[in-house]
Amino acid sequence: MVAQELKIGVTSVEWSEDFRDVVSKIDKLWQRNPPDIPTVSPKVSKKTDLLSEGTHVRVKLDEPISVLGNKLHGKFCTGDIRWNPNICVIKKMILSPEQPPTYLLDGPHG
């Protein structure tokens, strides 16, 4: 196609006729069924592994950030940083009935 475009001097669009066929065949070959994402919050039970006070942790980010620490717009992509690079320490564990465990961390946002 590139050689044809160089000879004629016009952009080739012949491939667009076969595009839908190629996409449908790839979809059939690479079909996958990802596991369901749970929609309810986990509850504390005897089997729940809890983190103790003084444990060093990283906080999950709400928005993606760049390598330089600047916020990126939009949703998370495959290569985005999803955890805060700063390490925090658990100061206190908060347990409430029928709620997931929460932790009070050191730092400005505690």
pLDDT the model gives residue 1: 58
pLDDT the model gives residue 42: 67
CB atoms within 10 A of CB 81: 14
pLDDT the model gives residue 110: 58
Report residue 43 CA to chain centroid gap: 23
Q: Are residues 22 and 30 in contact, defined by beta-carbon separation less than 8 angstroms?
A: no
Strand partners, 103: 93
pLDDT the model gives residue 90: 93
Q: CA–CA separation, 28 vs 40, rounded Å?
A: 32
Task: Please write the tens of the pLDDT for every residue from 16-51.
Answer: 888 899 999 988 888 877 788 777 776 777 777 888
**For the chain, what is the mean pLDDT?**
83
Q: Are residues 88 and 106 in contact, defined by beta-carbon separation less than 8 angstroms?
A: yes
